[in-house]
Amino acid sequence: MPAVAPTAQTGGGEAQTPSQEAVTIQYWTFWADRWGEFQGKIVEEYNRTHNDIRVEMLIVPWGELATKLLTAVSAGNPPDFSIINRSEVVEWAVRGGVLPLDDYIAASDEVHPEDWFESAWTECVWEGKAYAQPFESGTYAAWYHIGLFEEAGLDPTALPTTWSEVDAMAEAITQGTPQDGYTRVGFIPWGSRQDLLGWLAGGEWYDEETQQITAVTPENIAAMEWVKQYADRYGGEALERFRQSLGGGDTEDDPFYRDQLGSVWKGSWSLSAKVEYAPDVPFDVRPLPYRDGTSNDSVNQGSACVLPKGSPHPDPAYQFLTWMSIHGVAMWVPFAADMVSRKDQTDIYPDALPDNEQFRGYWKLYNDALAYAHHEPAMPARRFWNDQLSAAVDAIVRGAKSPEQALQDAQEATQRELDKALGKA
């Protein structure tokens, strides 16, 4: 539904009376339910404090936005502005579906790329041109179930920092056998984002300069050997049956809350779910553990502000785009418990989290990861690659392929798809 200017002030800035010459721009958002309400409040604040531009917001459900936006662009009737998954920006740029912003950025007194974390900004760039400005971000960290640590006789003040330490923890906490099944598992390496494994082993999945998939490297193979180690030790099929029996993450049935998993890798947004569904479950949060001999890593994922090709009012839409990417996101974080993408905003704290030393420490830990996190490979075959990596991991877990062969197959298939997308094949 459209967001309209409220009749009462909602905080921040002076109220403005719409001028008769005000331009109305259309904004499509994928956020719905309470998050859609949060977006509506941000739009209301913009409308309240600006008299030359009116923003009307339309909620298009997450799973439908990309298709409807592409259809609208192809038909020549897109919205003026939208926010999309940041990892999709390059795909949209390659197909010509979003406008480059470089001229606007060069003319702006407020937009300086260096003000954003590098992993957020560079994900919006294709072949030297910026096609978006980051909105919110999110990183990953490791959660440890302190109750299960204590029950297993482990020291909850000495949490794992390396994979070998995770192995010892998993051994102590796991209950069950491959033959009889499991009631509790200490850790499953492929239970979260699988691309994290390569980065945490010191590897890279993609070379942006050469536009080559780089899955088959000693580091990435070592990451997949860690997967194989757990599949061999605990039974890949048995762990998969256990995983399939678990409740949904970030719900009241989250297996971490239900004492079924000793450690999980979760995004920053999961903290608010923990407060809502399991405030009494004792836990601690640390940076993601890494392969011995490497160092900290994470992923920075989020969304980005774009002007679709054919935007009816690109100039005023860019004014709103910049406001959203700097000021709108500063309102969004307290509402939605997401993270910022700019270096000067990491002190913004979500209203949904307890205002205490423990949770502020966790929030800082997630924010600290913005400085060293990777972003997903910025290429037009990204989704295909994610599917191939998932298939590779599944083949390793089930014993169908060796780590090297699984990665080789994923690399070759994705390179063919990428070359087609780039017009090289």
d(CA 48, CA 6): 7
Say if residue 288 is exposed, middle or buried (CB neighbours under 10 Å; 0-12, 13-18, 19+): buried
Mind listing the pLDDT tens digit for each residue in 411-424? Answer: 999 999 999 999 99
Handedness of CA 39, 44, 45, 51 (dihedral sign): positive
Sequence-separated (6 or more) residues with CB below 8 Å from residue 1: 57, 58, 59
Q: If we measure between CA atoms, which residue out of 231, 229, 196 comes closest to residue 372?
A: 196
Below-70 pLDDT ranges, the chain? 1-20
Which residue stretches of 58-161 are H helix? 62-75, 89-94, 102-107, 118-121, 146-151
Nearest to residue 161, comparing CAs of 272, 344, 313, 297? 297
The pTM of the full predicted model, rounded to 2 decimals, is 0.93
Contact 81, 320 (CB under 8 A): yes
User: What are the tens digits of pLDDT across the range 360-385?
Assistant: 999 999 999 999 999 999 999 999 99
On whether the CB atoms of residues 198 and 223 are closer than 8 A, the answer is: yes
Does residue 181 contact residue 243 with C-beta atoms inside 8 Å?
no
Q: What pLDDT sits at residue 2?
A: 32
Quote the tokens at residue 386: 């994610």
Helix, strand, coil shares of the chain, percent, nearest 5, are: 45, 15, 40
pLDDT of residue 62: 86
* Total H helices, total E strands in the chain: 16, 14
